[in-house]
């Protein structure tokens, strides 16, 4: 079964454009969320937390430029403008407001896909320092949303993946329960420690040699968790820890 990769929020008031984009992206195993107005776009950007936004400028309620400004107050999610407006001043204004790329309509779907993948690679490199992270027997492709354990691709639910990604990008650091819950689930879940324990248990079942005596995700009693740092050569049961500053 193919797993969906990144989530893309499509914001356009033309149903046929949303349909075309949805088909194109779903064929490439992207998950899509759609809306036809700016206020809903800002709400979905906060609740769904897409990896990328495709945004039309000519929306029925507020202009797309205002949507960029609103989202940039709290998020650096990649935003690609899809618009019939081709004037230099419109392109310049959108880019200066915080958009990452600008594609004019009509567009070539293959070119758009290339732009999407390029912006996703840039985003994960900015976040994690590299598009792929190896920690011992674990390897995560942050662009394709794929996890490999001892070289074998493994299946994770979307939330398990997000949590593992959070641990591996912060490996070596002590993370509090509240910090993990806020950053992975959102501020409303800051006190759901039992919820977090369930997901950590699920991760350990998938990545640890012995889930009851974990090597990778260790518990900091009364505080939270820490993912240990392993030499890149570790794997196949060889646990080669390296020093990591907290």
- Helix, strand or coil for residue 3? coil
Residue carrying the six token digits 């081709």: 86
Residue 224 and residue 177 in contact, taking contact as beta carbons nearer than 8 Å? yes
pLDDT confidence of residue 233: 57
pTM, entire model? 0.62
Residue 52 and residue 8 in contact, taking contact as beta carbons nearer than 8 Å? yes
> Domain spans of the chain?
7-128, 132-227
Q: How confident is the model at residue 76 (pLDDT cuts 50, 70, 90)?
A: confident
The mean predicted confidence, pLDDT, of the chain is 86
Average pLDDT for 206-217:
94
- Write the class of the CATH domain 7-128: alpha beta
Closest C-alpha to 143, from 16, 21, 227, 28: 28
Digit-coded pLDDT (tens) for 19-56: 999 999 999 989 999 999 999 999 999 888 899 999 99
Say whether pLDDT at 1 is over 70: no
Average pLDDT for 205-218:
94
Cα separation, 104 vs 86, whole angstroms: 6
pLDDT confidence of residue 126: 67
pLDDT: which is higher, 207 or 125: 207
Dihedral in degrees, nearest 10, Cα atoms 80, 85, 91, 94: -60
Say whether pLDDT at 244 is over 80: no
- Helix, strand or coil for residue 99? coil
Residue carrying the six token digits 């907290």: 246
pLDDT confidence of residue 33: 96
Closest C-alpha to 149, from 203, 207, 205: 207
- Write the class of the CATH domain 132-227: mainly alpha
Share of the chain above pLDDT 90, in %: 58
pLDDT confidence of residue 121: 83
172 DSSP assignment: T
Say whether pLDDT at 4 is over 70: no
């Amino acid at each position: 079964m193919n797993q969906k990769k990144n989530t893309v929020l499509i914001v356009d008031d033309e149903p046929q454009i949303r349909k075309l984009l949805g088909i194109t992206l779903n064929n490439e195993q992207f998950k899509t969320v759609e809306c036809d107005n700016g206020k809903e776009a800002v709400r979905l950007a906060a609740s769904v937390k897409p990896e990328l936004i495709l945004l039309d400028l000519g929306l029925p309620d507020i202009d797309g430029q205002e949507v960029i400004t609103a989202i940039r107050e709290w998020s650096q999610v990649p935003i690609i403008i899809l618009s019939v407006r081709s004037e230099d001043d419109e392109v310049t204004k959108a880019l200066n407001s915080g958009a990452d790329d600008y594609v004019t309509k009509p567009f070539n779907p293959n070119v758009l896909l290339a732009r999407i993948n390029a912006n996703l690679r840039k985003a994960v490199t900015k976040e994690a320092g590299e598009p792929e992270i190896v920690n011992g027997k674990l390897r995560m492709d942050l662009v394709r949303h794929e996890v490999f354990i001892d070289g074998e691709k493994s299946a994770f639910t979307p939330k398990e993946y997000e949590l593992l990604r959070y641990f591996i990008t912060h490996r070596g650091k002590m993370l509090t329960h509240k910090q993990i819950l806020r950053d992975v689930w959102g501020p409303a879940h800051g006190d759901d420690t039992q919820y977090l324990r369930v997901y950590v248990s699920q991760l350990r079942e998938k990545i640890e040699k012995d889930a009851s005596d974990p090597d990778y995700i260790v518990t900091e009693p009364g505080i939270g968790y820490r993912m240990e740092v392993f030499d890149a050569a570790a794997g196949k049961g060889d646990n080669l820890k390296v020093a990591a500053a907290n």
